[in-house]
Copies of this chain bind each other. A is one copy, B any other.
Amino acid sequence: MNVKENIKTLIVDKPLKLDCGQTINEFPLAYETYGSLNKDKSNAILVFHALTGDQFVTGKNPITNKDGWWSYAVGPNKSIDTNKYFIICANVIGGCMGSFGPSHKNPKTNKSYGTDFPVITINDIVNAQVNLLDHFGIKKLFSVVGGSMGGMQVLQFVSNFPDKTKTAVPIACTASHSAQNIAFNELGRQAITADHNWSKGEYSSNNTIPDKGLAVARMAAHITYLSKKGLQEKFGRKLQERDDLKFGFDADFQIESYLRYQGSVFVDRFDANSYLYITRAMDYFDLAKQFKGNLSNAFIKTNAKFFVISFTSDWLYPTQENKDIVIALNAIGANVGFVEIESDKGHDSFLLDVPDFLSALKNFLDQSYKE
């Protein structure tokens, strides 16, 4: 059954037809919840995680023993207030924190799926997660919220299930991956598959991991999460525990040391094949294409109230791409608010302590909850 200990898991017993044509059955969906579901089940928020996130949104992640990835935003009295709302977050299918993914055993071969795992899409990911609503007996969510790839899931969810949420908050995201987005993801995939240990995805049979390639992929992605200005202010040309350049290839500069560290800690918690599959799902995402090029039509059936948030220094999913979502919503007279938050912290702003963002998110949710 591939169910991890200490991880809540729903076994989805309804067949799910994937965009690739394959159908999956009886697959595990790992999730976590925070807060309490109220009596009329009207206070539930489905949070969607980003590329390397997981279901452990806040508090201590029991697997990594580190703080949850959205601890700044989710907790008692925080933007997504666990005293008030019931928060659900599922690990995406294709992932590596308990949900059905390429590291799971293929019953046909008794080996990990590896690259025999079906290529999944953002559409497949949200179609898997909607099963959690039935599981909890929730007819309509109060909100769907997510940043980056989580924001893509917000858009896809509202499009697929227009009546299943009262509000929707896509943050720092896009309705369609740009050529530059695809380029950076492809770079990461090439780094992983270039690793000698990747062995065409069958590394787990060899008891090894393509750690060097995965670290390079993470380093590449990490650069895109930070702004040029933010990097300059934080690191500039500061040296790493030395008075002068050493004329070698060790990490002379703090930024080098920082990137190496980011790469090395990532490989301890993330599966290389999951990285391939999830980046592929992101690259395939093109919501307008699902509606013959008209993004507005993705939202024409919903009455949900939207709040779109972007960050000034985000060059991965710049404000303009977030505004394109707002424009599509405005074109059909949808209920939509938009704010661009001033921040030097780049795309990562949504994960960090950015007070203007955190209060805007809190205000929107708490005001909408009263309505």
Contacts of A315 in B (CB 8 A): 228, 315
**Contact code string A105-125 (vs B, CB < 8 Å = 1, else 0):** 000000000010011000000
Residues A231 and B195 in contact, CB atoms below 8 Å apart: no
From A119, A191, A195, A248, name the one whose CB has the most chain B CB atoms within 10 angstroms.
Answer: A191
Q: Which residue of chain B has the shortest Cβ distance to A256 in the bound complex?
A: B186
Contact of A179 among B194, B255, B284, B289 (CB under 8 A): B255
Residues B237 and A216 in contact, CB atoms below 8 Å apart: no
Residues A179 and B235 in contact, CB atoms below 8 Å apart: yes
Contacts of A196 in B (CB 8 A): 195-196
**Contact code string A243-283 (vs B, CB < 8 Å = 1, else 0):** 00101110111011001100100000000000010001001
Residues A234 and B280 in contact, CB atoms below 8 Å apart: no
Does A336 sit within 8 A of B, measured CB to CB? Answer: no
Which residues of A from 170 to 193 have beta carbons under 8 Å from B? Answer: 176-180, 182-184, 186-187, 189-191, 193
Does A1 sit within 8 A of B, measured CB to CB? Answer: no
Separation in Å of the A235 CB from the closest CB of chain B? Answer: 4
Residues A259 and B215 in contact, CB atoms below 8 Å apart: no
Contacts of A235 in B (CB 8 A): 179
Residues A245 and B190 in contact, CB atoms below 8 Å apart: no
Size range of the interface on A?
Answer: 35 or more
Q: Which residue of chain B has the shortest Cβ distance to A196 in the bound complex?
A: B196
Does A236 sit within 8 A of B, measured CB to CB? Answer: yes
Residues B228 and A180 in contact, CB atoms below 8 Å apart: yes
Contacts of A163 in B (CB 8 A): none
Residues A255 and B182 in contact, CB atoms below 8 Å apart: yes
Number of copies of this chain in the oligomer?
2
Q: Which residue of chain B has the shortest Cβ distance to A222 in the bound complex?
A: B183
Contact of A183 among B182, B223, B283, B289 (CB under 8 A): B223
Contact A259:B187 (CB < 8 A) given known A118-B247, A213-B194, A247-B118: yes
From A176, A184, A186, A283, name the one whose CB has the most chain B CB atoms within 10 angstroms.
Answer: A186
Which residues of A from 220 to 242 have beta carbons under 8 Å from B? Answer: 220, 223, 228, 231-232, 234-237
Contact of A177 among B179, B237, B259 (CB under 8 A): B237
Separation in Å of the A266 CB from the closest CB of chain B? Answer: 13
Residues A236 and B187 in contact, CB atoms below 8 Å apart: no
Does A29 sit within 8 A of B, measured CB to CB? Answer: no
Does A324 sit within 8 A of B, measured CB to CB? Answer: no
Contacts of A191 in B (CB 8 A): 191, 194, 216
Separation in Å of the A247 CB from the closest CB of chain B? Answer: 4
Residues B180 and A223 in contact, CB atoms below 8 Å apart: yes
Residues B194 and A216 in contact, CB atoms below 8 Å apart: yes
Contacts of A81 in B (CB 8 A): none
Residues B220 and A178 in contact, CB atoms below 8 Å apart: no
Q: List 6 A-B contacts (CB under 8 A).
A: A19-B247, A178-B231, A183-B219, A183-B255, A193-B249, A249-B280
Residues of A within 8 A of B (CB): 19-21, 115, 118-119, 176-180, 182-184, 186-187, 189-191, 193-196, 212-213, 215-216, 219-220, 223, 228, 231-232, 234-237, 245, 247-249, 251-253, 255-256, 259-260, 263, 276, 280, 283-284, 286, 289, 315, 318
5 closest residue pairs by CB, A with B? A196-B196, A194-B212, A20-B247, A119-B247, A179-B231
